[in-house]
Amino acid sequence: MKLLRVRVSNYKNCCDDFTIDLVAKSKKTSEDKEYELQEIAEDLYVFNTAAFVGKNASGKTSAIELLECCYSILSEFRLEDKHYNYDNVKLEIVFYQNDYIFKYNTILKADPNLGSKANFTEQHIYRKKYYKSKVKEIYTDDGFEELIDLGELPEDTSIVFFVLKKKTPRAVYFNCEGEGMDTYRLIFRAMTTYKISKNILLKVIKIFDDNIKSLEMVDEKHYKIAFQDDVRELSDSELVYMLSSGTTKRVLLYIFVVAALENGFDLLIDEVENHFHKTLVENMISLFKDKTVNKKCATLIFTTHYCEVLDLFNRQDNIWIAKSDNKIHLDNMYESYNIRPELLKSRQFYNNAFDTSVNYEDLMALKKELMR
């Protein structure tokens, strides 16, 4: 299964028909096919990496949370405990599965009887056979047939269940807040769930703190750590106090990087610079671009203020600029701007080619106020 496109209305403060299309649009060079793209069916390409950039409060997080919402439906067949109102959200998800293009439509409702769960109403799911000769027509209505008489499900469960059938992680979302002392339990749970070895854990830990020689779970609240020449058993709260919060959070995120690469699910990261400095972000991007490592077509999707890392992207159609006027909207760099491909993308950002710079007059107004 691979997510292709999302379209939504009445979601947060986004414009109607707010759309994220993960199918490659521009010319595909042999180098792009080697490093930038995944061929999920003949001549049907999606991205190894994709990024959302923009000012603060421009809507980057809203965009990546929309993707997380769709992956929750595709993975768990439900929505629960999200940080936004479900009511009257009109949603369309297009995905590829086993030689077919599927289009799923629903209108979400908030229902006090369901608590924090979304109610799926007016559900329809369509499919059509994929043919490479019609790759440019995958979203057109022509050829889609509705799947009917699928059966009944609880109102908090999507009929996508009848297509995908098995709950399985199809993406992991990592927000910028972290998990506090619960992080260690999540690290070891992820290692068990995704069959990640202790050797991998030690190599990940060494990236961030080479004073740590080993880390083992005693139970869900206690851990044994070998730090330099000292071995001790600590509670989760003591371990958080001993190690930097940055180390703790980064180890968890890199375990999910490993899990995504080894299991082929997508990884969504909000504000990647809150987790890593630029060199580590560049390394992570390179892992997803390297097909000898990324053997199962995982995709890394992130939001960032690090415009320099975009210089690692040869393409432009996997970069979106988020903007917020009265409503949040996205501009795809390839579709909305005429930027010569040989120019550094970071230089274009610094030159404010995308209208993403902080307003200089606002900065000066603050300075003048402070000078009084």
Is the pLDDT score of 178 beyond 60? Answer: no
Rounded-to-integer distance, Cα 52 and Cα 75, Å: 23
Give the Cβ contact number of residue 188 at 10 Å.
18
Rounded-to-integer distance, Cα 269 and Cα 271, Å: 6
Rounded-to-integer distance, Cα 28 and Cα 39, Å: 11
Angle between helices 183-193 and 198-208 (to 10 degrees): 140
Average pLDDT, the chain: 90
**Which is nearest to 236 in space by CA: 187, 183, 181, 188?**
181
Statement: 2-170+265-361 belongs to CATH 1.10.12: no
96-105, 191-200, 248-257: which is most confident:
96-105
Give me the pLDDT at residue 246, please. 76
Rounded-to-integer distance, Cα 266 and Cα 49, Å: 10
Span 251-266, average pLDDT: 94
Q: Please give the model's pTM, rounded to 2 decimal places.
A: 0.92
Q: Where are the domains of the chain?
A: 2-170+265-361, 174-263
Span 254-279, average pLDDT: 90
Question: Residues 310-324: pLDDT tens digits?
Answer: 888 999 999 999 999
Question: Residues 94-112: pLDDT tens digits?
Answer: 999 999 999 999 999 998 8
Angle between helices 183-193 and 245-263 (to 10 degrees): 20
